[in-house]
Structure 1
Amino acid sequence: MTEQKTEGTNRKLVMWTLAIIIFGGVWYFTRINQVVAPINSPDVGQSLIAGEIAFAEGAVEYKRDGTWTRAEQGTALKEGDAIEVVGVGKAIINLDDGSAIRLNANSAVTLASLAPSNFIIANNKGQVYTRVAKSDRVFEVKVDDVNYRSVGTAYKTINEEKIKGVEVYESKVKVLGVTNTELLVEQGNKYYVVNKDNKKIEKTLVKITQTEVDKDEFLKWNKAQDSAAAVSNENKTTASETNESASETSAVKDDLKIEDEVVIQKPAEISGIVLTGKQVSGGIYLSWKVTGLETPNGFKVVKSAEKNPVYPGNDYQYLSDSNVRSYKWVLNTGSSYYFRVCQYVDGKCMAYSNNVYVKAPVVEIPTEDTASTDAVRSLSLVSVGESKVTWKINGYSKNGFKLVYSQNSSPTYPTRDGDKYQYFSEPETRSANLDAFEGEGEYYVRVCEYLGGKCGVYSNQIKVSL
């Protein structure tokens, strides 16, 4: 009886031991598979790809953490950054994997994903040309809800009001998001999801004509960059594979290599206009630096409550002097505005500066004693922006007002040499617009009670830029 009980106990002990060993083995191998990722798992242990601004022409800006900043050659970029060519200009973004993203004028992208196995570039607006380095990873340019996946090397995506789509210049591109199946656009073809100018070719494969190629300045510029890049890469490969010792031959190769790099990526200076602004007494002071641009017709300074003010379309001041580099915009509204300066050529704006966003000061306007018909006790004059001035009165001026202004201090009526006046016979008049009768510059302004042939009480004197 005792032997049977002992034998049963031993059997249970063996079974429990086996169960523990089996459970432990299963747990161990499961844990190993969780901790050690498979070799082919995408992006495990790999850093995100980065990039940089390799070329900038005109006003190029980038946004990081909600703040827009002027971009310069060599500006480092990372996943999530947005880049925009504001107005006339171009930009080249080089990625670490050897790919290049080139932006036309009025174009913008966001580096949505730079994971090593999955690049996604959002074409926010305009025309974007991508030269894709050969690799196994996914490279897509996204326009709204449509993705254009590279199956080759060179294509242009368009995101404009009237046209949205892709043009393929080398190899193929997959279009994802238009239909339930993948659409393949081969070299020499274009596919427009939207074409408001020609509805017949929407969502249809169409050949790119030679006439279109010849007229496309952005495409021709890109082809020149591609050709120069190919020559540069060929030279680098040749230099690494050969060991020529002749100093003359070596010097020729070095010169060619340097020249190619300068043309493609490293211009001596970034052309454009860089604008700064600040609040000052009586308005906003703007100053700018011009690099690599001719400005024979001067500048337009444009203002708007919205970003990217333009001419024509928004408030502006015209500065005809090509050497001027600053301007005080008289504003006393207390509101904030965006400002830009543009290169003015043949009646239109060409290259624009970056945006600056500045809050205008506030000027307290005295309370007017409108009920009084007594003699004028005081007048208070202020500028309310651009060429307009307004005034308040304590008292009553039955003969109206004389507004006097000059580039010399303390203008009067009767006028001196160099003074000018405007007469307002209505006692209720409270505003006027000035003109730059002696040319652009600072003008001293006063308003006075008119007594018939002479002035009585004068207002304070203000200075206005006209």
Structure 2
Amino acid sequence: MSNKNGSGLFGTIIWFAIVFAVLAAFYYYGEKESGPGASAASVSFLEGQVDVLNDSLGWKQASDGIVLNEGDSIRTGLGKAVLSFEDGSALRLDALTEVEVVRLSGKSAVFSNKQGRVYLRVKDGTSAQYQILAQEASVSAQGTAFTVACDQTKKTVAVLMVEGSAKVRVERNSDAVESKIESGSKLDLDLSKPITEAVKTSAVDLEIVKSDSFYSWNKEEDIKIGDPLGVLEAVEDAEGIEDAEGEDGSEDVENAEGADVAEDANNEEAKEDQVLDLSQSAPAESNSGIFLKASAQDDGVRFTWVLNQTEAPYGFKISRGTEPNPYYPKNDFVYISSVEAREYTWKITDGKTYHFRICTWNGGKTSESACVVHSNDVQVTTKQASINISGFEYVASELVLGATTSESGVNLSWNKITAPGFQGYKVVRSETDANLYYPKNGYIKWLPDDINATGYTDDSAERGKSYYYRICSLESEAPTYCGNVVQVQY
């Protein structure tokens, strides 16, 4: 009796094994017959500075042919790169761009565009669904080509449809908006607005596209592989593009979509305001790990920078001086605590000429609080501006404020001023107003009659919040003066 039951059980097991094998074979060969997908991403082209993050050791220089898997990232400095896939599709990165590989499953390829601009060419006939994520937006397509430009600082995303069509979906909490974009169209997202007002579509401005070196490069690449050009038909050849390269040979990375990744190195006004040659290493007294650009704007000096095989785990400090190569702690400075920051506007509008450098700060983790890596020196003549509001004058150059963070709070420091009728300092803080001043925003600390007071620790700051700070000087025989605005993430 037991033998009979045993043989029946054995037969049942054999039957299930056969069924499982048939289903597995059907699934395997069915997948195989559908053609190659996007199960692997390899770096097939790189130019200039390109880094990858594919282990716990941090960013490192990329090599041609390196394979990226789910969770890996790639970023470009003043260079560009191409990720290639088994089905012939390609993701091309413009300069100053960072992309994370979110999913690679053969049937689905998802990438997160953290910053900058990418061009996705999806091979016609592929079985894979490609998707680009950018902040709150996702762009999905098969057999098509488009660019996605992401600016985290401005909270904008721009999609330009080169060929074919794609679906753009924006999600925020429980709300969602979907749009379909066709070849020759452009979709702009302003994610600072309510989701129902964030989407704007328009026709592609061919004059802008024609003169953009990124599109010229993509046209050349698409011609090589025989893909339809769509909008790129209108793009001039590389030699016909006047602003494809600056005098220093660095590539112009101004986005045609309007997501400003970096300022044009050939811009005539910028050349008057800055001294910068990216074709050479930083000065001998500097380290070439950071390249700094600066230009005078109406609201101050705007800085953008690129890291080259350098990390900034404790943020950055920008130093200002009247002589070349200023440095912290000798010279005036501002502290930028965000390790992801790549731009900053220092509100200096006194019409004077200064030298600036940016550095990675050591966070006070050694016996001497100092910078680790310094950038090149840039020289800028600031624009003159003063604002009179009901008898109060706010001049950004009169007081220079700096800030650091610690366990005890946000540590503010400023230079001592001398003025007749000095009455004291007002420490002003706001979570939302970047143009704060006294008396509009009130104050969190009043330091009366002490002209030697050059510091204050805001111990009421809460972890995880971002604050704007400003110091104002009250004088009986002159208008109230307020210094530069500093933003701190605590």
Q: Which has the larger radius of gyration?
A: 1
TM-score range, shorter chain: 0.3 to 0.5
TM-score w.r.t. structure 1 length? 0.45
TM-score w.r.t. structure 2 length? 0.43
Larger helix percent: 1
